[in-house]
């Protein structure tokens, strides 16, 4: 009887592990524009061709974001967050899109743009791996109009690879991720930057109904006993060399 029970528990454990959601990888794509026309063309491509094609492949959480109106890059940049269940999804994306006839038709203006009339000036691509503390991206539970919502993209650069990994450990083992969750920061993702122009680096995105709520959440975070204890621990001192904050709003057609 005991052996049978042990076997059933073992099988159940294997099934559970097999059904566990995979640890995601992300592509953060940043478009740079010289003109409003370029942005319009790229957004039309994303809304009418790219997102529908990704949905057909089973990827439902595509984020499209613009800088807030007061940002000096407003109208000059567009951020696209694409989740993958494996790094292979990122590597094979271009080939998969090339086989989608609906995508090719809907995205003709962007895909077949001429050299003297491109739909953007430059494009950056940052590749990330989800933190162990939050292995899947999440759709934020916000009720405010899109025009009021604040999405905060943060980048934490490290002095060295080892010191950077210490900050990653602070999020995972130190449960900084859990602290953000408890305080309802509505995180979209946390990720280790595997490849990008600023290395070593980690990035994450939190979301709020509006700027006032964002400020109130960070005030509560700074005063929280868990954060005060964690940030005072000797092993987590001086593990960030640069902190960059970017405030964004989602587009009307963004999944996130």
The answer to whether the beta carbons of residues 61 and 139 sit under 8 Å apart is yes
- The reported pLDDT for the residue numbered 19 is 58
Give per-residue pLDDT as tens, 139-183.
Answer: 999 999 999 999 999 999 999 999 999 999 999 999 999 999 999
Task: Write down the pTM of the prediction.
Answer: 0.91
Residue 14 has pLDDT above 50, yes or no: no
Q: Is 172 left (phi over 0), alpha (psi -120 to 50) or beta?
A: alpha
Residue with structure tokens 């203006």?
109
Give per-residue pLDDT as tens, 59-98.
Answer: 999 999 999 999 999 999 999 999 999 999 999 999 999 9
Task: Give the DSSP per-residue string, 72-137.
Answer: TTTTTEEEEEEEESSHHHHHHHHHHHHT-HHHHHHTHHHHT--TTS-S-SEEEEEEEEE-TT--S-
Q: How far apart are CA 30 and CA 163, in angstroms?
A: 27
């Amino acid at each position: 009887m005991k052996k049978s029970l042990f076997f059933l528990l073992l099988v159940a454990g294997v099934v559970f592990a097999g059904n566990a959601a995979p640890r995601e990888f992300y592509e953060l794509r940043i478009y740079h524009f010289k003109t409003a026309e370029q942005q319009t063309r790229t957004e039309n491509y994303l809304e009418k061709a790219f997102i529908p094609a990704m949905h057909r492949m089973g990827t439902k959480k595509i984020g499209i974001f613009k800088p807030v109106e007061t940002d000096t890059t407003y109208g000059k940049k567009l951020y696209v967050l694409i989740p993958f269940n494996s790094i292979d999804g990122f590597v094979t994306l271009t080939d998969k899109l090339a086989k989608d006839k609906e995508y090719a038709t809907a995205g003709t203006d962007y895909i077949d743009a001429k050299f003297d009339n491109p739909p953007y000036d430059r494009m950056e691509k940052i590749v990330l791996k989800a933190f162990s503390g939050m292995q899947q991206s999440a759709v934020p539970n916000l009720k405010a109009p899109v025009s009021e919502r604040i999405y905060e993209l943060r980048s934490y650069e490290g002095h060295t690879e080892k010191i950077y990994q210490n900050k990653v450990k602070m999020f995972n083992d130190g449960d900084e991720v859990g602290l953000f969750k408890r305080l309802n920061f509505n995180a979209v993702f946390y990720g280790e930057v595997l490849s990008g122009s600023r290395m070593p680096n980690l990035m994450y995105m939190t979301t709020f109904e509006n700027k006032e709520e964002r400020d109130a959440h960070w005030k509560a975070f700074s005063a929280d006993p868990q954060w005060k204890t964690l940030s005072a621990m000797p092993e987590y001192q001086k593990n960030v060399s640069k902190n960059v904050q970017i405030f964004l709003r989602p587009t009307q057609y963004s999944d996130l």
